[in-house]
Each structure stands twice: as structure tokens, then as C-alpha cells.
Chains A and B, each alone.
Chain A
């Protein structure tokens, strides 16, 4: 979706301001909100692509006026209600007034090991890769209303396949679904001047990991 999250190349946000000796969390509620998002993810009620999309759907004005964990919290509430796990009224009351859905909480026991476990989004290939390293490709012009990981700033632009990453779970199909629809994933290099014209800089490049359905031969 062409949402407020797709920020590459936007103007007007001012300088990057880094905090000296920044703590990991800035308030107790940030810790709890982070942990709630993680813990609900481990129930298997949804997965990372659905979760990202829930945050992207925060209305633009609200998204840009919110801190990062406020966006996480908004996304979590949205998912809980959409999946029928709690009602708006229950969230407002902070109290359960209906039987719970069948869902198993992740226990503290063994959780560290789960967090550190090797995971992978790579899957066996179902077809040969269409592109090889060095091929010229164009990022397709497309404007899906649903989840996509093809940012606006590269759509229609020409780049070069810099590496093949393997066949990975495809977020556009996976979001809101159990269908992983694995597709070939490529590191694609775009010249800074190709993306930004006179404001770009020859010799600099920008590399994105893009799935095969985002690309066409150039």
C-alpha cells in the first residue's frame, strides 16, 4: 500500500537527531508494548508480514504523529480486534467480558532458546530463477492496496541484479494468509542518479532486496 510508512526520499522531516547514550526503552510502557507484540506473535495468531501490514495501516496523520512503540501498540490492537481475539469494548475496559479464543500463550520456560533459535524465510525453489547476476531489470510500476515491500521510490526505475538471495516467503501473498508462495529474492542495485536525477550522485548506489514478481527485464 502507498502508506505513510513508505518514506524513502521524502522531504521535510528535518535532520536526524540521535540521543547520546540512548536507553533501549524510554518508558515502562514501551517495554510492555514491545513484549506484548512479541508474545502475541508467538501464539501463532498471525505472522510478521501481517503484523507489519497492521502497523502500515495506521492512518497517515496518526502514524507520523506517533512514536514507534505507539505505532506497534496501535497495530497490535488492530490485529487483536480483527482476529476476533478481543473486542473494542474489552480493550476500553481492560477486562474480559467474553470467552477467550483457543490460543496458547508462549511460556517463559525455554523462551530465550526460542528467541535465539535459527529461523529461515528461505524455501525450496519451485521454479528456476528468472534473472542472473548482472542482468538489467526494471522495478515494476504497481500500486497494490495491500501489503508490499516494493517501495515507491524504485518503481519504474532500472537497476542491476547484484546477488541472488534464494527463494523466500513472498510478503505480498503471505500477508493475512498462510500461503507462503516463495519467490526468488534478488539484491538489486540502483544508481543514485537513476533514482534521484540531478539530486543523485553518480557512483553511489542503493541496493534493495526485491522479489521476482516486482521485477521485469529492462
Chain B
């Protein structure tokens, strides 16, 4: 899949608009409903949801236990539910193990906690290499792990969706959940990044 080639755009605009007109005319789609799909995933659901979950894991030992045992229920307690998040599993990074999530076959991703996936997640370079060379992929993201840390890659081949809980950065004792959430990046919840240090976030 190529980078976004702007010469394609006007052409695709015309074709997609023509299909929308046709499907509306047939009565198969309601244009107002199309706006709801777009608005939901453009403005309402995104990685800030997941960041709130991770911040609570860091701040609340009981919640951490619940999330690791029954991620679906623990995440639903925030109201984060629905499409592409029907069977949630949370996996926690430790000094011994680093988790990374991919979908080699398409683009499976936990929409309710992370929103729609970024282009790189859906594109061949990541899908091809995450399972075979996760350290090389991490290097592309500027991340290097200690030699003693093992990597576990989760290939989302079914409807189970994974949320990575990154390690809590040092120097954050006593922080509120809201402040902790500001350190949780989208990539840290996919496993292609780490949570920000307080210095990096400042």
C-alpha cells in the first residue's frame, strides 16, 4: 500500500461520492447515519480512552487485578464498549516481557479503547515485520529494550483484541490518574512505544 498519493485523491473523491449517491438513491444507506459513523470515530472514540484505563491500572491495584483477569468488564466500567472490542484481553509489560500487538492478516485493533488504527498499523511494513523482527520494528520507532527483556507479539487473528499496559514511568509517585493518563501514548498501548517519562511529557 503506497503512501497517500495526492493525485489519487480527487479521483477517489469522485468515485466514493458517486457510490454514496447511488446507495442513498437505492435506500441502502442514510446519509445522516454516515455522519454518525464518521463523527463517532473521528471525535468521540480514541486513544484517550485507553490512556484512562492504563492510568487507573497504575493508580489502583484492585483495578489492575480486575483488568488482567477480565479486561472486558474492567474496560466496560468506563463505558468503553462496542465494535472491534468485543473480546478484550489486557497484557502487561514488565522488565522481563514486552508485549506488542499486530494484525498480520488485516487491521484488527481495539477500537473502543484506541479508536481507528493509524496508517502504519494497517500497512505492509508493520504487518510483515512485527512477528518476525519485533526488535527491528521497535528500532524504527526509536525504542530499544534491554537484552534481558523477551518480546511477546500478539497476532490478532480472531475477534480477541489486545490492550498493552505499558510500564509506569519512574518519578510519578502520587500522581493523579488524570496526570498519569497524559503519559500514556497510543503507541505504548500497541507496544511500539513506551509510556512517556515526566520529563518527556513536560
**Interfacial residues, chain A to chain B (CB-CB below 8 A):** 5-11, 13-19, 22, 24-29, 31-36, 38-40, 42-43, 45, 52, 55-56, 63-68, 70-71, 73, 76-77, 80, 85-86, 90-91, 93-96, 100-101, 103, 105-108, 111-112, 115-122, 149-151, 153, 165, 168-169, 171, 185, 187, 192, 195-196, 199-201, 203-211
- Verify if B140 is at the interface (C-beta below 8 Å from A): yes
Q: How large is the interface on B (under 10, 10 to 19, 20 to 34, 35 or more residues)?
A: 35 or more
**Interfacial residues, chain B to chain A (CB-CB below 8 A):** 1-5, 8-9, 12-13, 15-23, 25-30, 32-38, 40-42, 44, 46, 76, 79, 81-83, 86-87, 104-107, 112, 115-116, 118-120, 122-129, 131-135, 137, 140-141, 150-160, 187, 192
Q: CB < 8 Å: which of B26, B28, B104, B119 contacts A7? A: B104
User: Are A108 and B41 in touch, CB under 8 angstroms?
Assistant: no
Q: CB < 8 Å: which of A105, A118, A171 contacts B86? A: A118
User: Are A27 and B134 in touch, CB under 8 angstroms?
Assistant: no
**Residues on B with beta carbons closer than 8 Å to the beta carbon of A22:** 118-119
User: Are A39 and B37 in touch, CB under 8 angstroms?
Assistant: yes
User: Are A116 and B131 in touch, CB under 8 angstroms?
Assistant: no
**Residues on B with beta carbons closer than 8 Å to the beta carbon of A168:** 87, 158-159
**Residues on A with beta carbons closer than 8 Å to the beta carbon of B5:** 67
**Residues on A with beta carbons closer than 8 Å to the beta carbon of B19:** 36, 73, 76-77, 91, 94
User: Are B120 and A19 in touch, CB under 8 angstroms?
Assistant: yes
**Residues on A with beta carbons closer than 8 Å to the beta carbon of B104:** 6-8, 151, 153
User: Are B129 and A13 in touch, CB under 8 angstroms?
Assistant: yes
**Residues on B with beta carbons closer than 8 Å to the beta carbon of A73:** 12, 15-16, 19
Q: CB < 8 Å: which of A16, A36, A66, A201 contacts B137? A: A16
**Residues on B with beta carbons closer than 8 Å to the beta carbon of A67:** 1-2, 4-5, 8, 119
Distance between Cα atoms of A77 and B82 in the complex (Å): 26
User: Are B34 and A103 in touch, CB under 8 angstroms?
Assistant: no
A207 touching B29 in the complex, CB below 8 Å, given contacts A8-B104, A32-B34 = no
Kindly report which residue of chain A lies nearest to residue B5, judged by CB atoms: A67
Q: CB < 8 Å: which of A34, A91, A201, A211 contacts B158? A: A211
User: Are B141 and A18 in touch, CB under 8 angstroms?
Assistant: yes
A108 touching B32 in the complex, CB below 8 Å, given contacts A6-B104, A100-B27, A151-B157 = yes
* 7 more CB-based (< 8 A) A-B contacts, given A29-B16, A111-B33, A151-B105: A13-B129, A29-B13, A40-B28, A66-B1, A115-B37, A199-B132, A206-B153
User: Are A96 and B38 in touch, CB under 8 angstroms?
Assistant: no
**Residues on A with beta carbons closer than 8 Å to the beta carbon of B30:** 39, 105-108
CB of A209, distance to nearest CB on chain B (Å): 4
Distance between Cα atoms of A102 and B72 in the complex (Å): 36
Distance between Cα atoms of A18 and B17 in the complex (Å): 29
